[in-house]
Amino acid sequence: MLVNLSDILRKAKEKKYAVGAFNVPNLESIRGVTAAAEELGVPVILQHAEVHENYIPLSEIGPIMLMYAKESSVPVAVHFDHGASFEMCMRAIRLGFTSVMYDASEKSYEENLRETSEIVRIAHSVNVSVEAELGHVFTSAVGGGEGRGAVGAEDFQSLEDCYTDPAMARDFVDTTKVDALAISFGTTHGVYLTEPKLDLKRIAEIKAKIDVPFVMHGGSGVSDEDFRTAIYNGITKINYYTYGAMSGAEAVKRGVEEAGGRKIFYHDIVKMGQDGIKENVKAAMKVFSLI
């Protein structure tokens, strides 16, 4: 069933679990993610990231995401991820997405505050939830996918310059009225090449200032234990894509190798990828849902 993001996250916050949010740039990803959620009986968030417009445009994939959400046996929010422009966020809202993320985190604080407030004003008038980002999530040189190139701790004078400041977060949420806030505490988009060094206490410090659902972007390389600690400290939405996409590719590779000289068809290949994504996503959902 299609639901509002705020409804899903409110329940997750109350019951101390997190909901997986999965980017789905093709039909097989949508089918794999929704099948995983239905098998486990957990809510899920289907996402289309603006950076994936080069794979498939919002106008094509959006209606398919909405169809699967409406027909699903579990609650499904359909979310526009990392929207970099006002125009794209409005397109998602007009299509029927139940939430959008407006990402102005690379702009000045004042610009982020002003532009996010305007998105919230419009979205809330039509019962659409809004996520925003404050701070800087690192981006790997391998599969980072956010369109900004590699960004690491070395690009800042200190970690305090990129991590989310608790006092600033309170001012931002109070002013913009966002429904969810993506915070920075050391995670990375893409393939994490070294073990992440996370400031998990920062999540609790921010939570002491404001009581809204927090979002973890860049979960690559994070251990199950650290995921659970982050959830306990206040994370209620976890964005997940890189390792699911890699698992789909690995499943295809294995299937082709196992076929040997036997002829295989394209529909066999996409089914292999879909099944690989589903199994990886199920494993992630179990951690997020504390199953």
Half-sphere exposure in the Cβ direction for 3 (13 Å, CA): 16
Q: How far apart are CA 57 and CA 75, in angstroms?
A: 24
Is 81 annotated in the active site?
yes
What are the beta bridge partners of residue 130? 100
**Helices marked H in 127-192 — which ranges?**
166-176
Work out the burial of residue 108: count CB atoms within 10 Å of its CB; fewer than 13 is exposed, 13-18 middle, 19 or more buried: exposed
Given its phi and psi angles, is residue 145 left (phi above 0), alpha (psi -120 to 50 degrees) or beta? Answer: left
CB 232 within 8 A of CB 18: no
Q: How far apart are CA 130 and CA 257, in angstroms?
A: 44
Q: Which amino acid is at 261?
A: G
CA 215 to chain centre: 8
Q: How far apart are CA 45 and CA 77, in angstroms?
A: 5
What length is written for the chain? 291
From the candidates 7, 81, 165, 174, which is the catalytic residue?
81
Residue found under tokens 């305090």: 160
Span between the terminal Cα atoms of the chain, in Å: 22
Active site residues: 81
